[in-house]
Amino acid sequence: MKLALDDTIAAIATAPGEAGLAVVRVSGPAALAVADRVFRGSAPLAGAAPSTLHHGWLTGAERVDEVVAAVFRAPRSYTREDVVEFSCHGGAMPARSALALLLAAGARLARPGEFTLRAFLHGRLDLVQAEAVAELIGARNESMQRAALARLGGQLSRELRGRLERLADLVAEVEARVDFAEDVGGIEVPADVIARIAALYGELRAQLGGAAWGRAMREGVPVVIVGQPNAGKSSLFNRLVGEDRAIVAAQPGTTRDRVSATIELHGALFTLSDTAGLRETADGVEALGIERAHAALEDSRVVVWVVDGSRPISDDDRAVAARLRGRRVLVAINKQDLGVVIDEQELRALCDEGVRVARTCARSGAGVPQALEDLALVAGFEQGETLLVERQAHTLGVACDALERAVRAASEGAPGEIVALELREGMAALEELLGVRVSDDLLERVFSRFCIGK
Ligand SMILES: Nc1nc2c(ncn2[C@@H]2O[C@H](COP(=O)(O)OP(=O)(O)OP(=O)(O)O)[C@@H](O)[C@H]2O)c(=O)[nH]1
Ligand SMILES: [Mg+2]
């Protein structure tokens, strides 16, 4: 990608099709001059005050549209360059004719994402924020929208910049010891510096943990339904997903395979999986199903644990509870219609703090709407949870691995030079993540995902 900033670019910024308006955008040093070649209003736009609107006509050999021109002057514009945005009539022709006029008047057709690229090159956005623009445009549910807006607002960038600064300090400290080895007592990395590297490493790892969550949000947060045979898992699964997908039968050990369905709750996607009841069994096929249930449990941070409320807690229940530690759990006390004998206090005590309890009758559907609300809360994206797009997760992973190697080397008493090398690699990755230092290739990859006109 040629990173020229000296030419003036133009593109249609709105989606094609019949609509009230279509917007054509011009940005660059000659934006006002180019616009004035085709715009006929009460006065030339070159003399317009910053951030003002002007009515007029776009005119070539003949008039092509009646428009409103919005004038933004550098640096107070999306790209930090002079920008004119023409609001044309919507539909197939007006914007296309307007664009043709602007190109004939000296603008170049913008490449996908080139307006945002310019905002990045002029320092208005870092790379994480620029990616958030694409994420926002592509957001398909409220959670994705919220996450993209948080990143656009710079939340993740600030965190990452803080960590990059701390890493730079650590590099400086380790290297200073190498440079003045005699003065500061040896070239090994002292324990307090190792501890600080390890702490930073831990934070980056935790942040990386959010990456899987980000992917899940686009594809569906995995939620596994577990419990003992016959507790009513399949019945509840069918109720939660709103259709009869899983086989329900009075006989324990009915479900063998994992059955999944995706639902939307408060704008986020959840992929629910019904699984085989967990118990010791001599039946080979059932045992395979139970293995699958365990595997599903491994993949899911969110669990719905279904218990039969009409029976007291059994040792098998306690065994299930032990497997749920560290996960977000919604306990569904099912079969409410049969009379509840289970000890809810004890049930809660078997779980981590923060567990939610729902009361359901999967047979009639009673309590299911509330269970869905509870599920959304249990699975809820915590504030401040970092959601990363693939590139960010990958680059953060590179930084993590480098810091992990640095901690290991330093702990084993490796010379400071070696530790510094690893730290520098981590720094380079964080810089790439933020776009402090990036190759043209990377920019090409990031911005080619954008639509034209953004
Ligand atoms: N009375 C009553 N019966 C229920 C309720 N939920 C499920 N059942 C019944 O309990 C039996 C087992 O239900 P399933 O949904 O197949 O239970 P499961 O947990 O999937 O069982 P496995 O697949 O064998 O592990 C069936 O006869 C259901 O009709 C409920 O809320 N009340
Ligand atoms: Mg079942």
Q: Which residues contact 108 (CB under 8 A, 6 or more apart)?
A: 7, 8, 9, 10
Distance CA 392, CA 342 (A): 47
What is the whole-number distance in angstroms between the Cα of residue 268 and the centre of ligand 2? 26
pLDDT score of 226: 94
Atom of ligand 1 nearest to the CA of 361: 31
- As a whole number, mean pLDDT of residues 31-57 equals 98
28 lies in the same domain as 169: no
Is residue 82 scored above 60 in pLDDT?
A: yes
Distance CA 447, CA 338 (A): 59
Q: Which of 339, 356, 379 is the last residue of a domain?
A: 379
Is residue 384 scored above 50 in pLDDT?
A: no
pLDDT score of 444: 87
CB 243 within 8 A of CB 192: no
- As a whole number, mean pLDDT of residues 26-38 equals 98
Is residue 69 scored above 90 in pLDDT?
A: yes
261 lies in the same domain as 331: yes
Q: Which of 101, 126, 151 is the last residue of a domain?
A: 126
Alpha-carbon separation of residue 1 from 5, 399, 448 (angstroms): 12, 26, 10
Is residue 1 situated within a structural domain? no
Is residue 382 scored above 60 in pLDDT?
A: no
pLDDT score of 385: 47
- Selected residue with higher pLDDT from 40 and 3: 40
| Tens-place pLDDT, residues 231-285 | 999 999 999 999 999 999 999 989 988 899 998 876 667 899 999 998 888 888 9
- Pull the structure tokens for residue 378: 């249990």
Residue of 234, 308, 317 best suited for mutating to test ligand 1, as the one with most atoms within 8 Å of CB: 234
Percent of the chain with pLDDT over 90: 66
Pocket, ligand 1, Cβ cutoff 6 A? 227, 229-235, 248-250, 252-255, 276-277, 334-335, 337-338, 361-363
Q: Which residues contact 247 (CB under 8 A, 6 or more apart)?
A: 234, 254, 255
What is the whole-number distance in angstroms between the Cα of residue 234 and the centre of ligand 1? 7
Please classify residue 108 by burial: count the beta carbons closer than 10 Å to its beta carbon, then call 0-12 exposed, 13-18 middle and 19+ buried: middle
What is the radius of gyration, based on Cα positions, of the chain? 29
Is residue 444 situated within a structural domain? no
| Tens-place pLDDT, residues 315-348 | 999 999 999 988 999 999 999 999 999 999 999 9
Check which CATH number belongs to the domain holding 69 and give it: 3.30.1360.120
pLDDT score of 213: 60
Q: Whose CA is nearest to atom 1 of ligand 1?
A: 335
Is residue 234 situated within a structural domain? yes
224 lies in the same domain as 372: yes
316 lies in the same domain as 333: yes
pLDDT score of 307: 97
36 lies in the same domain as 168: no
Is residue 440 scored above 80 in pLDDT?
A: yes
Is residue 442 situated within a structural domain? no
What is the whole-number distance in angstroms between the Cα of residue 346 and the centre of ligand 1? 23
Per-residue confidence band for 380, with pLDDT thresholds at 50, 70 and 90: low
Is residue 57 scored above 90 in pLDDT?
A: yes
Structural domain range at position 24: 9-126
- Residue 99: count other Cβ atoms within 10 Å of its Cβ: 24
pLDDT score of 296: 87
Check which CATH number belongs to the domain holding 281 and give it: 3.40.50.300
pLDDT score of 412: 94
186 in the Ramachandran plot: left (φ > 0), alpha (ψ -120 to 50) or beta? left
Mean pLDDT, the chain, rounded, equals: 90
Is residue 219 scored above 80 in pLDDT?
A: no
- Selected residue with higher pLDDT from 280 and 88: 88
- Selected residue with higher pLDDT from 220 and 211: 220
| Tens-place pLDDT, residues 123-149 | 999 999 999 998 888 876 677 788 889
Is residue 381 scored above 60 in pLDDT?
A: no
3-state class of 236 per DSSP? helix
199 lies in the same domain as 148: yes
CB 33 within 8 A of CB 46: yes
- As a whole number, mean pLDDT of residues 380-391 equals 59
Please classify residue 279 by burial: count the beta carbons closer than 10 Å to its beta carbon, then call 0-12 exposed, 13-18 middle and 19+ buried: middle
| Tens-place pLDDT, residues 98-115 | 999 999 999 999 999 999
Q: Which of 362, 379, 396 is the last residue of a domain?
A: 379
287 lies in the same domain as 201: no
Q: Whose CA is nearest to atom 11 of ligand 1?
A: 250
Distance CA 370, CA 347 (A): 19
Domain count, the chain: 3
